[in-house]
């Protein structure tokens, strides 16, 4: 009897996942380049703020298992999407550009959000992770490291969705204005290193040129591969900022799923 709520929760999550995948494969979603991941997040936000509290006690165990173990397993498997051949195709320039964009975006977000806007640190870290790496997937990967509450995850994902969607419409205009300055390969690296979601990156590239699309997606996946060292760095930074004195040894919480991801 004790295992029933556990399975109820997994069935509940499976229904949402199947529905999100179905909606993600519709003509409407393909036309507007809305991924199943984004749909699943939106469904979860809608259900969580409406009917979920009425039956949460029956499914909570399974939901927590999916949110923890299953999510981290999915992040590890996500690493299989990139090969060293992909990195070689776009060259060292893309790797360096991705690294510069990731580091500068995250630290600028932290500086602006924490020091000047006085925002909640967990929310700033989650938003910085999503904007600097791979959107909603990075936000959810950073959640167990930051130990943030679910509503903060929702806000960070909303930022990623809003600005990533705006990029779909504005980046083609940027390319039109900058054609005399950079070529398609260079602009593809720029797209892949700065836009949040993989689907958004592909949408922008597809609307411009096949060379831009291919280069942008590969550059984006290189950026995704940087998720693991980023999480290790974030864990170290959070440990350092816990108010521990200099004479006390720091215990770094290592997100092992991040290590397995890059492995």
The DSSP code for 26 is S
The model's pLDDT over 144-155, given as tens digits with 9 standing for 90+, comes to 888 888 889 889
Predicted pLDDT of residue 187: 92
Q: Give CA–CA dist 89/219, Å, rounded.
A: 9
What average pLDDT does this structure show over 153-178?
Answer: 87
Q: What is the pLDDT of residues 125-137, one digit of tens each?
A: 999 999 998 888 8
Angle at 137 between CA 207 and CA 259, to 5 degrees: 125
Residue 236's pLDDT is 84
Check pLDDT > 70 for residue 74.
yes
Least-confidence region, from 121-130, 198-207, 218-227? 198-207
Structure tokens at 200: 């958004």
Output 179-184 pairs: Cβ under 8 A, ≥24 positions apart: 184/208, 184/209, 184/211, 184/212, 184/215
Q: Judging by beta carbons within 10 Å of its beta carbon (0-12, 13-18, 19+), is residue 76 exposed, middle or buried?
A: middle
Mean pLDDT of the chain: 83
Q: Which burial class, exposed, middle or buried, applies to 5 when counting CB atoms under 10 A from its CB (0-12, 13-18, 19+)? A: middle
More confidently predicted of 229 and 35: 229
Query: Domains of the chain: which residue ranges?
Result: 4-79, 82-262
As a whole number, mean pLDDT of residues 167-193 equals 88
| Residue from 115, 101, 121 nearest 220 by CA | 101
Which residues are CB-contacts of 207 (< 8 A; sequence separation ≥ 6)?
168, 172
Average pLDDT over residues 74-96: 77
Are 201 and 90 a contacting pair, CB within 8 Å? no
Check residue 258 and give its pLDDT.
65
Angle formed by the axes of helices 227-240 and 121-132, nearest 10°: 160
| Cα–Cα distance, 165 to 177 (Å, whole number) | 20
Looking at residue 19, its pLDDT comes to 95
């Amino acid at each position: 009897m004790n295992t029933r709520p556990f399975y109820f929760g997994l069935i509940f999550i499976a229904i949402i996942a199947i529905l999100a995948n179905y909606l993600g494969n519709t003509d409407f979603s393909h036309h507007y380049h809305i991924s199943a991941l984004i749909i699943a997040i939106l469904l979860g936000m809608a259900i969580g703020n409406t009917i979920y509290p009425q039956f949460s006690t029956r499914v909570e165990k399974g939901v927590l298992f999916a949110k923890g173990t299953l999510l981290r397993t999915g992040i590890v498997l996500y690493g299989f999407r990139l090969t060293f051949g992909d990195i070689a195709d776009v060259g060292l320039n893309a790797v360096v550009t991705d690294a510069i964009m990731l580091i500068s975006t995250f630290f600028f977000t932290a500086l602006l959000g924490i020091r000047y806007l006085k925002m909640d640190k967990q929310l700033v870290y989650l938003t910085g992770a999503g904007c600097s790496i791979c959107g909603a997937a990075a936000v959810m990967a950073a959640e167990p490291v930051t130990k943030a509450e679910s509503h903060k995850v929702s806000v960070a994902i909303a930022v990623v969705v809003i600005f990533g969607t705006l990029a779909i419409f504005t980046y083609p205009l940027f390319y039109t204005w900058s054609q005399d300055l950079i070529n398609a390969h260079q602009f593809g690296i720029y797209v892949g290193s700065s836009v949040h979601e993989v689907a958004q990156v592909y949408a922008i590239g597809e609307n411009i040129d096949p060379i831009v699309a291919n280069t942008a997606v590969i550059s984006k996946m290189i950026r995704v591969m940087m998720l693991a060292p980023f999480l290790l760095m974030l864990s170290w930074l959070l440990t350092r900022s816990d108010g521990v004195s200099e004479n006390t040894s720091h215990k770094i919480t290592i997100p092992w799923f991040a290590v397995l991801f890059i492995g």
